[in-house]
Structure 1
Amino acid sequence: MNVKQRTIKTAVSVSGTGLHTGENVTMTFHPAPENHGFKFRRVDLEGAPIIDADVDNVTDTSRGTTITQNGASVSTVEHVLAALVGCELDNVLIDLNGPETPIMDGSSMPFVDTITEAGYEEQEADREYYHIPYNIHYSEPDRKVDMVAMPLDDYRFTCMVDYNSPVLGSQHASISTMSEFKKEIASCRTFCFLHELEMLLAHDLIKGGDINNAIVVVDKTIDKEELAKLAKLFNREDIDVAPQGILNNIELRHQNEPARHKLLDMIGDLALVGVPLRGHIMAARPGHAANVAFAKKIKALIKKERSRKHVKVYNPHMKPVYDTVQIMNILPHRPPMLLVDKILELTKTHVVGLKAVTMNEPFFVGHFPGAPVMPGVLQIEAMAQTGGILVLNTVPDPENWLTLFLKIENARFKDKVLPGDTLIFRCDLVAPIRRGIAQMKGIGMVGEKVVVEAELMAQIVKYKES
């Protein structure tokens, strides 16, 4: 039985202080449509820019994970993303009126409680997992970091930490399925060593720091004068060192709470892969930088496999959805600017088009005539025209509409397109079309090789009455 995607039933909010900025912030979780994924929206900035929870958007991992897109950033996203994954959600829009998520008590539990209060709603679309196909390794020998993802028909985590500290020693934590997250992992708080805390305080790097939102491991001899200084700094009457070797401001919720929190961070950072995973993740001494590098490695493999799946084996005897004459009845383009010869597939969410590249193309006259190569800008134009067919397919009179492209991002040209090549384009919607605006991911292939890819945003506008 296929598992359906899930969102939340209603919008719910949580407020708190950002650990590093010290700013009060309100975060609101909103229901989101199918295939939306997790996105943050900075409602305090002009235009309310959206930041996709995507590993390609990570810009900093020094004191938490920061993502940046459309000129806006959100810091410390890992605890929030871990809560969303732990609640087995797929589609949520998170509004934020500041640059950082609230730290709360240093765990994911306040977010889990808020999400649970909203309730869950099953959606029509199936959840599409990425099943780890074989062992995927990542290591940083200088830091003794080792991570591996192994095939498994579930989502299992095993984590080991070892900080060469007599207080922490070696600790292990694990969950055998994501349904254990709420009980075993969500409440586990972040931790730091006393010398790190003092350095951060000295440099004013944790303006929102409160001694109640982190476990402070005492890794050095500390006298009463220093304890009194810390007590004054955090507005407490008294602070001492507990028998477990931590400041006695809080009690451990689990004997291995630091290892469990590292596992929590891993779950949150790996959510940036962008699709739910099936596999067993094992890690020794992980951190945000390693988690993100590992997530990028997994995402690269997913993109490679999806590109292979998108390969369209062209059968010249197969009747196309649209031939050249039919395409000209839809698109206003004409030779030499008509760059799509056939439409091979067309659904509500994707389109496949074909361009036969011949030596008598007019652009070869002036573009490297001694070594003809199809210009990259015209490859993008051909991809855009293919995507235009997909968008125009949503109106009953496409001949009366124009497709205007608003944005082209992340365009990459991976190989030459030469005379004699058959160029196959595929454009997929990455979000539902709203107000005539479509966001698409496009790739162009020659045989099994991806030669061009880009992200496109287009809008259809009516230019004459039917």
Structure 2
Amino acid sequence: MYNKQHTIKKAVSVSGVGLHTGHQVTLTFKPDEIDSGIKFQRVDLPEKPIIEADADLVVDTSRGTTIAKGEARVSTVEHVLSALVGLQIDNVLIEVDGPETPIMDGSAKLFYEALESVGLEEQNALRNFFEIPEGIFLTDEKKNVEMALLPVDDYRVTVMIDYNSKVLGSQHASLNNIADFKQEISTCRTFVFLHELQQLYNNNLIKGGDLNNAIVVVDKLVSDDELKELAKIFNKPHIEVKEEGILDNIELRFKNEPARHKLLDVVGDLALVGRPIKGQILAARPGHSTNVAFAQKIKKYIKKAEKSAPKYDPNAEPVMDIDGISAMLRHRYPFQLVDKIIHQDHKTVIGLKNITINENFFQGHFPGNPVMPGVLQIEAMAQTGGILVLSSVDDPSEYWTYFLGIDNCRFRKMVRPGDTIILKCELLAPIKRGIAKMQGYAYVGNSVVSEATLTARIVKKDEE
């Protein structure tokens, strides 16, 4: 998996009909900036509103996944999103001139190929992975759906479907390496049962339906009159079918193509979490509604985890050891206050400071009652943030970092010898003109011992 964020090198467009409206629609993928994420823009509407690919903006999952913001909406986003996940594209603006994406051939294949044709561009920022520390589970007893996200340092998906159908039976599909998405998953088409198809048509939907963009599963005997009616629906001179099988006897691309398409849907719907995931996804009989409910549950877990104390594994290799810190920061004894960096992404850094009785400040700060000065806790917090800020430039050794402001500073608990402080700084806005504003926290155990909003500036040595 890529460690750094990616966008596309240049704009690329695809056109086709919308599955339900039957109208011609064009999608244009455009490169976007670091941390911008995936966004859809309705360019056919006044003011051209933007809708973020966000699970909390989903308004309908009846026949695909629909997102909306205000009056603007975009339907059937899951196949587009799955192609972006398969290519590991983090930042892209998707212009669409209609209310739904084109169905194309019913898979993610043509989206994937269009994006791949223009190439990817690596961006100078780490991907903001959600690395799950413990299992997250969803069970919907009414729909007989079970989903799980389990810890693993990779991205894997396994799906099982069972429609109690003689044609499909019970099927499984797995994606064990994101590099296999193109060949193993992206080409797998959506499917529908014949009885569902007739109901959709009677409700004035699937106007863009075609036997070239969906697999129709025939799970009942079909009369000659019904075949003639289906030929009219699909604008074909005639349609054939075995007693039970696939309408017009279309060949499947894989024996378990329906299960692989359900996996494709899971990948696309879970992209609505808004962050790339490291974990093992297991799904039994999933559908769009439960996929989105699971994405929303994962989002809530992430928000809660972000407010809790970071987990520290002393057995894990640090992101940056003391040698790396010394090469980046110019501080030295007795003011080098960060021992190692244990996490860093595009907007968050977590450092660690071990407190011992041998610290020089204990000699004069409350002798006989050793307490770490609060001002040094803030300095340690700022040095940790300095690592994040300096990582945004090509040659950190050519820059100095200076405080511009400390706001909302609070000291919650005393820090004593034997404590290990975990220091977390998160950017509140993108760095502009060398100025960074960060929210900093210092933890001992699960408790916040100090916090502050820090503003700093990086200055090139020859520009001081």
> Is TM more than 0.5 here?
yes
431 and 232 in structure 1: CA distance in 2 versus 1, 3 angstrom threshold:
farther
Shift in Å at residue 245 of structure 1? 0.5
Shift in Å at residue 26 of structure 1? 0.7
Task: Tell me which residue corresponds to 2:113.
Answer: 113
3-state SS, counterpart of residue 308 of structure 2: helix
* Structure-to-structure mapping, 1:65-214, within 5 angstroms: 65-214=65-214
289 and 431 in structure 1: CA distance in 2 versus 1, 3 angstrom threshold:
farther
Task: Tell me which residue corresponds to 2:375.
Answer: 318
294 and 445 in structure 1: CA distance in 2 versus 1, 3 angstrom threshold:
farther
Does the 8 Å contact 1:212/1:249 carry over to 2?
no
Shift in Å at residue 233 of structure 1? 2.1
Task: Tell me which residue corresponds to 1:59.
Answer: 59
Task: Tell me which residue corresponds to 1:280.
Answer: 280
3-state SS, counterpart of residue 300 of structure 1: helix
* Structure-to-structure mapping, 1:397-412, within 5 angstroms: none
Does the 8 Å contact 1:51/1:70 carry over to 2?
no
3-state SS, counterpart of residue 142 of structure 2: helix
Deviations 1:407-455 (A, max 9, x none): xxxxxxxxxxxxxxxxxxx984466779xxx9x99999999899xxxxx
Deviations 1:12-68 (A, max 9, x none): 000111111222111000111111111111111111111110111111111101111
User: CA separation in 1, counterparts of 2:293 and 2:233?
Assistant: 36
Does the 8 Å contact 1:41/1:95 carry over to 2?
yes
User: CA separation in 1, counterparts of 2:132 and 2:86?
Assistant: 19
Does the 8 Å contact 1:351/1:427 carry over to 2?
no
71 and 320 in structure 1: CA distance in 2 versus 1, 3 angstrom threshold:
farther
User: Is residue 408 of structure 2 the alignment partner of residue 354 of structure 1?
Assistant: yes
User: CA separation in 2, counterparts of 1:69 and 1:351?
Assistant: 37
Shift in Å at residue 69 of structure 1? 1.9
Give 2:143's aligned amino acid: R
Shift in Å at residue 211 of structure 1? 2.4
Give 1:4's aligned amino acid: K
3-state SS, counterpart of residue 294 of structure 1: helix
User: CA separation in 1, counterparts of 2:228 and 2:306?
Assistant: 58
3-state SS, counterpart of residue 182 of structure 1: helix
3-state SS, counterpart of residue 124 of structure 2: strand
345 and 168 in structure 1: CA distance in 2 versus 1, 3 angstrom threshold:
closer
Does the 8 Å contact 2:81/2:271 carry over to 1?
yes
Give 2:201's aligned amino acid: L
User: CA separation in 1, counterparts of 2:429 and 2:268?
Assistant: 22
3-state SS, counterpart of residue 290 of structure 1: helix
Task: Tell me which residue corresponds to 1:37.
Answer: 37
49 and 427 in structure 1: CA distance in 2 versus 1, 3 angstrom threshold:
farther
243 and 188 in structure 1: CA distance in 2 versus 1, 3 angstrom threshold:
farther
User: Is residue 6 of structure 2 the alignment partner of residue 9 of structure 1?
Assistant: no
Task: Tell me which residue corresponds to 1:24.
Answer: 24
Does the 8 Å contact 1:345/1:352 carry over to 2?
no
441 and 240 in structure 1: CA distance in 2 versus 1, 3 angstrom threshold:
farther
Task: Tell me which residue corresponds to 1:269.
Answer: 269
Deviations 1:310-357 (A, max 9, x none): 9999x87317989xxxxxxxxxxxxxxxxxxxxx97987999731679
Q: Which runs of 5+ in 2 are unaligned?
A: 311-349, 354-371, 393-403, 412-424, 449-464
Shift in Å at residue 243 of structure 1? 7.2
3-state SS, counterpart of residue 318 of structure 1: helix
441 and 112 in structure 1: CA distance in 2 versus 1, 3 angstrom threshold:
farther
Deviations 1:346-400 (A, max 9, x none): 987999731679xxxxxxxxxxxxxxxxxxxxxxxxxxxxxxxxxxxxxxxxxxx
Q: Aligned Cα RMSD in Å?
A: 3.5
Q: Percent identity?
A: 54
User: CA separation in 2, counterparts of 1:273 and 1:176?
Assistant: 20
Shift in Å at residue 294 of structure 1? 0.8
307 and 167 in structure 1: CA distance in 2 versus 1, 3 angstrom threshold:
same
User: CA separation in 1, counterparts of 2:86 and 2:281?
Assistant: 15
Runs of 4+ in structure 1 deviating by more than 3 angstroms, as ranges, are 309-313, 319-322, 344-353, 426-434, 440-450
354 and 50 in structure 1: CA distance in 2 versus 1, 3 angstrom threshold:
same
Does the 8 Å contact 2:221/2:243 carry over to 1?
no
304 and 268 in structure 1: CA distance in 2 versus 1, 3 angstrom threshold:
same
3-state SS, counterpart of residue 301 of structure 1: helix
Does the 8 Å contact 2:309/2:443 carry over to 1?
no
Task: Tell me which residue corresponds to 1:384.
Answer: none
User: CA separation in 2, counterparts of 1:316 and 1:97?
Assistant: 59
User: CA separation in 1, counterparts of 2:203 and 2:441?
Assistant: 50
Give 1:59's aligned amino acid: V
User: CA separation in 2, counterparts of 1:71 and 1:111?
Assistant: 26
3-state SS, counterpart of residue 110 of structure 1: helix
Shift in Å at residue 118 of structure 1? 1.0
Does the 8 Å contact 1:270/1:291 carry over to 2?
yes
Give 1:56's aligned amino acid: D
234 and 69 in structure 1: CA distance in 2 versus 1, 3 angstrom threshold:
same
Deviations 1:137-183 (A, max 9, x none): 11111221111111111111110000011111101111111111100
User: CA separation in 2, counterparts of 1:180 and 1:2?
Assistant: 14
User: CA separation in 1, counterparts of 2:195 and 2:149?
Assistant: 33
Give 2:287's aligned amino acid: G
3-state SS, counterpart of residue 76 of structure 1: coil
Shift in Å at residue 192 of structure 1? 0.4
3-state SS, counterpart of residue 181 of structure 2: helix
Deviations 1:61-97 (A, max 9, x none): 1110111124421110000000000011111111111
User: Is residue 215 of structure 2 the alignment partner of residue 215 of structure 1?
Assistant: yes
Shift in Å at residue 123 of structure 1? 0.9
Does the 8 Å contact 1:189/1:258 carry over to 2?
yes
Give 1:227's aligned amino acid: L
